[in-house]
Chains A and B, each alone.
Chain A
Amino acid sequence: MNLKFVKEKCIGCHLCELACSTTRLDIFNPKEANLIITYQYQDDDLKVKAELCNLCGKCIKVCPEGAISLEANNYLILNKALCNGCGICKSACPQGVIFMKDNFPQICNMCKGKPQCVKSCLHQALILK
């Protein structure tokens, strides 16, 4: 199961980002979310796109300490005891959805199989597939 973005259904409310930061960090802050929705006027048109973790595994590969792993249920976990906070995973993430917080990378863990971003999307622009 993976996160999928259905572009034509998105309305740009950003509730998904808010659900993410609330669940992960106990704060309402769309800038601290593991997904980035762009829904903005550019060149007289609406630009719509989403950056989501697609489980490509680059962060796992580049981590020098082997601190990131893929769980059998198909989500990533970070072993904080092993992580040295180098941030290489952040730089390597092709989607740019890893960010550093208190010296540790914040990596989408799919809310351990029950992603709150999906739950918050009433219009089903974010789904698990």
Chain B
Amino acid sequence: MSIYTGNILRINLSYEKFNLEKLNFSWAENFYGGKGLGFRYLIEELAPKIDPLGKDNKLIFFPGIFSGTPLSSSSKLCIITKSPATQTILDSSVGGFLASEIKFAGLDGIIVEGSSIKPVFLEIINAEVKFHKAEFLWGLSTHEVEYKLRETLKDDNYKIISIGAAGENLVPYSCLTTELYRQAGRGGIGAVMGSKKLKAIAIKGTKGFKIDRPKEFLKKAQNYINKKSLNKNNLWAYTDGTPIIISMANSSGVLPTRNFQMATFRQSEKINSQSINQKLKKRKACFGCVLACGKFIEIDGVKIEGPEYETLSIAGSNCGISDLKAISLFNKICDQYGLDTISLGNTIAFVMELTERNMYDFGIKFGDQENYLKIPELVAKRKGIGEVLAQGVRAISEKYGGREFAMQIKGLEFPGYEPRGSWGMSLAYATSDRGACHLRAWPIGEEAFGDLDPFTIEGKAELVIKEQNLSALKSSIGICDFWSFDFKDLAKFLELFLEEKNTSEELFKKGERIWNLGRIFNLREGFRRKDDYPPERIFKDPLPNGKAKGKFIPKAEYDKMLSEYYNLRAWNEEGIPNLEKLKELNLETLWKIS
């Protein structure tokens, strides 16, 4: 059964032109949609070493293949580009209503290329594009843009994605925002859009999405949702959402605290899901999703959908901030300016530690709520210390010192899981295609939060590979991370809804192909083994408290785990895939073995 519309909308900002082109079906067959298909297009269309903030970079907006259908948790839009934060390949996904709207416009995806000289916003109705002047939007917050565009276009039905001042000012960890509170957060996609002077995209799809036998699909989807949703695997997303992890992380000794100097937070109860649920006003879903993980809360006059676990941990405990109102307000300001709360939270925590260690006085220490709340605006506008903080943890450490506790890999700041309390996470972060990321593999689920010994490297390389391949495939099919699946479940799922038969092994290989494609992109950029390491703190500083007290990962052990990972992937000691593996995956034309 075909799940594609067959249409890709290509938009060139330099020439203000657009055209509808045919989807490359042979790529879609191997890579589905979303991440995998986006990777395939990007590696074909981008020459190595281009400037991510130059006109040669592209923005690829690919929905999951089931976006727009009545299948729950399929509304992820993947945005693929080259990252200005890391220089790696980057896919960042966002929920909300854009992915389905693109399908309702009769499209499988949108590719934006070139660069405008003056601020512009795009109005897309089905396959028609209008290029509008956007001076009147420039400088506005993402929230203001959404309201303003609905008013300007006189229609609430447009789905809008935009950047704030951070993206305009090319902050390398600026994000895209839609539905006010949903972000494609990581890796600096906002800056890529800002470099193209593209302030916003407003899209409306009126055509609808047609497949064969839609009624039969609806019936199958209804039965599937009834059976599989709001059960023990995913009910947490509805009741608590990601803040549920705070208590788990704290009791397991993996909650980043004070720039990863500790892994338990004495005031964690103030920021856990019970505290948030007391402030709950409404739950909010992405299109077609019954899990409604979005929590719209009101806390002493501050209204926000959020904060999520990553913000509560990295911009909360990791900065020594325990006031839920302050974290919520910080979150909201970041959303409005279009800043990634993970990268900014880490950056603040890092300069707090530099200040406390008297290495440089940034005028802010752990727990300093007042100054903490001033920083997002300074960073987004690159004013005062914001100019320095806007460069991110790696660049600051190169200038001011503290490299050993600069919690980043490849230039991307750490998410909210302490690797010393779950050793597989160090490998997951270090081998992730976009720098330190928890979404490519999450071995902590089996380690600190599960039954596996968290303080050993035994079996971790294999576990990380399995999860990376699975997540690459899920992000290509476009299923939300909150819908738990193993390869076997996925095989059944694809047979039911795509009428496509796969064994678990075949799906593993499809995921592996996508993963290797990302690696090839990064190899072309010059990434090698030396780039696949966490900072020294992970190897040297024993954790002072909590369940992982006294733990660090001996570097020799990490080296062994990394070599095992390369070996199992059929990559050499530098992390380069061997020819047999490339041939097996039909990728041999994309990487020249030297």
Residue A21, interface by CB 8 Å: yes
Also in contact, A22 and B215, with CB within 8 A (given A13-B292, A28-B208, A46-B296):
yes
User: Is B215 a contact partner of A29 (Cβ separation < 8 A)?
Assistant: no
Residue A30, interface by CB 8 Å: yes
Which of A11, A19, A120 is within 8 Å of B285, CB to CB?
A11
List A contacts of B225 (CB < 8 A).
Answer: 122
**What is the CA–CA distance of A23 and B70 in the complex, to the nearest angstrom?**
12
User: Is A22 a contact partner of B218 (Cβ separation < 8 A)?
Assistant: yes
**What is the CA–CA distance of A11 and B305 in the complex, to the nearest angstrom?**
13
For B147, B156, B285, which residue has the most chain A Cβ atoms within 10 angstroms?
B285
Binary contact readout A1-33 vs B (1 if CB under 8 angstroms, 0 otherwise): 000000000011111001101110111111110
Q: How far is the CB of B72 from chain A (nearest CB, A)?
A: 8
Also in contact, A29 and B208, with CB within 8 A (given A22-B215, A122-B225, A122-B290):
yes
Residue B104, interface by CB 8 Å: yes
User: Is B226 a contact partner of A122 (Cβ separation < 8 A)?
Assistant: yes
Residue of A nearest to B103 (CB): A28
Binary contact readout B266-293 vs A (1 if CB under 8 angstroms, 0 otherwise): 0000000000000001111111111010
**What is the CA–CA distance of A48 and B230 in the complex, to the nearest angstrom?**
23
Interface residues of B in 201-220 (CB under 8 A from A): 205-211, 214-215, 217-218
List A contacts of B174 (CB < 8 A).
Answer: none
Which stretch in A37-45, A61-69, A77-85, A87-95 binds the other chain?
A: A37-45
User: Is B209 a contact partner of A29 (Cβ separation < 8 A)?
Assistant: yes
Residue A112, interface by CB 8 Å: no
User: Is B284 a contact partner of A45 (Cβ separation < 8 A)?
Assistant: no
**What is the CA–CA distance of A122 and B146 in the complex, to the nearest angstrom?**
30
Residue A58, interface by CB 8 Å: no
**What is the CA–CA distance of A44 and B290 in the complex, to the nearest angstrom?**
24
Q: How large is the interface on B (under 10, 10 to 19, 20 to 34, 35 or more residues)?
A: 35 or more
User: Is B284 a contact partner of A46 (Cβ separation < 8 A)?
Assistant: yes
List B contacts of A46 (CB < 8 A).
Answer: 281-282, 284, 296
Which of A14, A23, A119 is within 8 Å of B288, CB to CB?
A14
List A contacts of B217 (CB < 8 A).
Answer: 22
Also in contact, A22 and B284, with CB within 8 A (given A13-B290, A27-B210, A44-B303):
no
Residue of B nearest to A45 (CB): B303
Residue of B nearest to A30 (CB): B104
User: Is A28 a contact partner of B180 (Cβ separation < 8 A)?
Assistant: no
Residue A116, interface by CB 8 Å: yes
List B contacts of A38 (CB < 8 A).
Answer: 156
List A contacts of B426 (CB < 8 A).
Answer: none
List A contacts of B208 (CB < 8 A).
Answer: 21, 25, 27-29, 31-32
User: Is A23 a contact partner of B289 (Cβ separation < 8 A)?
Assistant: no
Q: How far is the CB of A115 from chain B (nearest CB, A)?
A: 13
**What is the CA–CA distance of A41 and B222 in the complex, to the nearest angstrom?**
28
List A contacts of B68 (CB < 8 A).
Answer: 28
Residue B69, interface by CB 8 Å: yes
Residue of B nearest to A23 (CB): B215
User: Is B230 a contact partner of A122 (Cβ separation < 8 A)?
Assistant: yes
User: Is B222 a contact partner of A22 (Cβ separation < 8 A)?
Assistant: no
Binary contact readout B148-162 vs A (1 if CB under 8 angstroms, 0 otherwise): 000000001100000
List B contacts of A26 (CB < 8 A).
Answer: 210, 214-215
User: Is A41 a contact partner of B104 (Cβ separation < 8 A)?
Assistant: no
List A contacts of B146 (CB < 8 A).
Answer: 41
Also in contact, A22 and B290, with CB within 8 A (given A28-B70, A122-B225):
no
User: Is B211 a contact partner of A28 (Cβ separation < 8 A)?
Assistant: yes
**What is the CA–CA distance of A15 and B287 in the complex, to the nearest angstrom?**
8
User: Is A28 a contact partner of B289 (Cβ separation < 8 A)?
Assistant: no
Residue B179, interface by CB 8 Å: yes
Residue of A nearest to B212 (CB): A26
State the A residues within 8 Å of B (CB).
11-15, 18-19, 21-23, 25-32, 38-42, 44-46, 48, 116, 119-120, 122-123
The 10 closest A-B pairs by CB, nearest first: A29-B208, A11-B292, A13-B285, A27-B208, A11-B285, A28-B209, A22-B218, A122-B290, A18-B70, A22-B214
Mind listing 7 A-B residue pairs with CB under 8 Å? A15-B70, A18-B70, A23-B215, A27-B208, A32-B208, A41-B180, A122-B229
**Could you list 20 further interchain pairs (A-B, Cβ under 8 angstroms) beyond the known A11-B283, A29-B206, A122-B230?**
A12-B285, A13-B72, A13-B288, A13-B290, A15-B288, A18-B70, A21-B208, A22-B215, A25-B208, A28-B69, A28-B70, A28-B104, A28-B211, A29-B207, A29-B209, A30-B104, A31-B157, A46-B281, A122-B225, A122-B226
